[in-house]
Chain A
Amino acid sequence: MAEVKVAEPKESIFTFGKAERKLVTDPLNDNNPITVQVLGICSALAVTTLLNKAIVMAIAVTFVTAFSNLFTSMLRTGIPKQVRMIVQLVIIATLVTIVELTLKAVNYPIYKELSVFIGLIITNCIVMGRLEAYAMANNPWKSFLDGIGNGLGYGIILIIVAAIRELFGKGSLLDFKIIGPTADYVLNTSEISWLGWYANNNLMVLFPSAMFVIGIVIWVHRAWNKKLVDIS
């Protein structure tokens, strides 16, 4: 549907020009929700021990930010000011419940591992923050793109952190053994592995390492993108 509309003149709401592209790409770098805006760190860090959990979480959060932005933006003139917060929370909570029910049906083991952290997407500050800062003031299509961008910006950091933690903590990526001795995988000795001398660093699986890795990611990010230094 979107492609057909793109061909139409400028006033169409489904345009995807420079401004719209910026909505999606900006949160990936200059305005990253985690490393720049410091939002949504809460629930995310506990799920970054394994890459597959982080990917599922990233998809779930992108879905919730995109559609909560879309629905809130569609309702923005109708939402009564006095109950605004509760209405927004109900929209978010509904979407999160949909995500939970779907995940439980599609991939039960991951649902089990993520447990309460799926529910905690509700209080992920990114979702609420984007509703307040963007969706309440912009049209649905732009809000939707903004939601996707922020979800992805969050997801990227999550995936980087999870990849580092899984590789050095478990010696594997997405359960495929990459480095370290293969003896760990008693039933899967056929898998190839490099650096046989490497012993898994258990600290990487423990919770403080998430903080260290993010701290270092922020350091690298700000050293590379100088204009972000001293933002907060």
Chain B
Amino acid sequence: MHNTNYIIRFVLIMTVIVAFVLSMMYTGLKSVHQTNEAVYNKKAILSAVAAQLGKNISKLSNAEVENIFNTQIEQKVLDMSGNELTPEQIKSATGGVASTADKIDMGKEMKKPEADRLLPLYIFKASDGKVYNIISVRGKGLWDEIWGNVALESDWKTIAGVSFDHKGETPGLGAEIKDNPTWVSQFTGKKIYADDGSFTSVRIIKSGAKDPVHEVDGISGATITANGVDEMLERGLKYYEPYIMKNKKS
């Protein structure tokens, strides 16, 4: 039997060793972790224009992603009334965390009052010279948060591609918004404005889409997640409306 003194010494020494090893590893790998996280988020943004890029996004290396972001993408941050913010303004609005669009934490923005939210905008120049506007949306699914990126063509009307992600939707049901490329590809070519110029968003219809221009099919067994995507798109796209109105060339 060991005495109390020994136990305390044993536990203390073990704690020191363990804490030392782990903190060394943590600090040593921190920069790698941060790069990985940044690249992961950038890949999500690029997924919205995967077809235009003509590449399999998940197979891109870190350097390739950074390269596309540096050469083909222009980042902007907007406020809720459609004004473009300068890096200084972004810094003060995020408490010094971010100065460019890709550093903005959309989860934190969602918790702010609606009027103070920041809107990231990525302008992607494809190799054929076409310009796409990628915007970020965020909402609630069945269990937890869902978010996505929507690429609009330069007319700000037609969807060129979308990508969605989620925190904890059910695999095989709600998680299909990320995992099922067929479902995601339905959005391509849909229009978010009616012919008369009024905002319609893209509706997700449970019983099957009837209007080929503004509607897509729902996901069977995942009505609540699909409704979440529907709501997220409507609200998220509307946030950008003031900016769209200012920039439309009509």
- Direct contact between A and B in the complex (CB less than 8 angstroms)? yes
Size category of the B interface is 20 to 34
Query: Does the CB pair B182–A105 fall under 8 Å?
Result: no
Query: Does the CB pair A187–B33 fall under 8 Å?
Result: no
Contact residue among A184, A187, A204 (Cβ-Cβ distance under 8 Å from B56): A187
Query: Does the CB pair B182–A184 fall under 8 Å?
Result: yes
Query: Does the CB pair B181–A169 fall under 8 Å?
Result: no
Query: Does the CB pair B181–A94 fall under 8 Å?
Result: no
Query: Does the CB pair B172–A109 fall under 8 Å?
Result: no
Cβ–Cβ < 8 Å partners of B1 in chain A: 81
Chain A interfacial residues counted at CB < 8 A: 33
**Cα distance A98–B181 when bound, in Å?**
34
**Cα distance A167–B10 when bound, in Å?**
50
Q: Is A18 an interface residue (CB 8 A)?
A: no
Given contacts A90-B14, A108-B40, A109-B58, contact A169 B172 (CB under 8 A): yes
Total A-B residue pairs with C-beta atoms closer than 8 Å?
Answer: 79
Interface residues of A in 117-159 (CB under 8 A from B): none
Cβ–Cβ < 8 Å partners of A97 in chain B: 22, 25
Q: Is A82 an interface residue (CB 8 A)?
A: yes
Query: Does the CB pair B181–A185 fall under 8 Å?
Result: yes
Interface residues of B (CB under 8 A from A): 1-2, 6-7, 10-11, 14-15, 18, 21-22, 25-26, 29, 32-33, 36-37, 39-40, 50-51, 56, 58, 170-173, 180-182, 185, 221
Interface residues of A (CB under 8 A from B): 49, 78-83, 86-87, 90, 94, 97-98, 101-102, 104-105, 108-109, 112, 169, 183-188, 202-207
List, sorted by A's number, 9 A–B pairs whose CB atoms are closer than 8 Å.
A80-B2, A80-B10, A82-B7, A87-B14, A98-B25, A105-B29, A185-B181, A186-B182, A206-B171
